[in-house]
């Protein structure tokens, strides 16, 4: 994985952890994301989503979570062009992230 790729996934994990720790929901507030690893680092032309695995810890449902990243058309093109870190959600926003500890599933919207 290239340095830019690694930086994107590491920073995404930190942003996820920030959202979790700021939650009012005690079921997720104490969780943290250690890392996110894409199934494949490439987003094919025309594709609007990728799958990844996140390592989540700190609660009853520790372990691997399935992650679906959905991309807008512009975000998908930017990702394919290597402009990945520019796509990270704004630190103060939480609308881009959904988690289900019971299902061990995360959804991420990249605008």
Please give the torsion angle defined by the CA atoms of residues 92, 111, 19 and 81, in that order, rounded to the nearest 10 degrees: -100
Residue 74 has pLDDT above 60, yes or no: yes
The per-residue DSSP string of 42-102 comes to ---TT--EEEEEEEEESSTT-EEEEEEEEE-HHHHHHHHTT--GGGSPPTT--TTEEEETT
Residue 4 has pLDDT above 80, yes or no: no
Angle at 106 between CA 105 and CA 109, to 5 degrees: 150
**3 state DSSP class of 106:** strand
pLDDT per residue as tens digits for the range 75-105: 999 999 988 888 999 888 889 999 999 999 9
At 42, the pLDDT band (50, 70, 90 cuts) reads confident
Residue 24 has pLDDT above 90, yes or no: yes
How many domains does the chain fold into? 1
pLDDT per residue as tens digits for the range 27-41: 899 999 999 999 987
49-57: average pLDDT: 96
Look up the domain containing 63 and give its range. 3-110
């Amino acid at each position: 994985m290239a340095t830019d790729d690694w930086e994107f996934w590491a920073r995404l994990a930190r942003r996820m952890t920030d959202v979790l720790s700021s939650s009012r929901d005690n079921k997720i507030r104490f969780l943290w994301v250690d890392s996110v690893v894409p199934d494949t680092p490439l987003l094919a032309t025309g594709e609007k989503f990728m799958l990844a695995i996140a390592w989540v810890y700190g609660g009853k449902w520790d372990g691997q979570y399935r992650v679906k990243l959905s991309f807008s058309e512009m975000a998908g093109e930017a990702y394919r062009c290597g402009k990945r870190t520019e796509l990270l959600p704004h630190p103060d926003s939480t609308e881009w992230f959904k988690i289900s500890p019971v299902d061990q599933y995360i959804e991420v919207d990249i605008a």
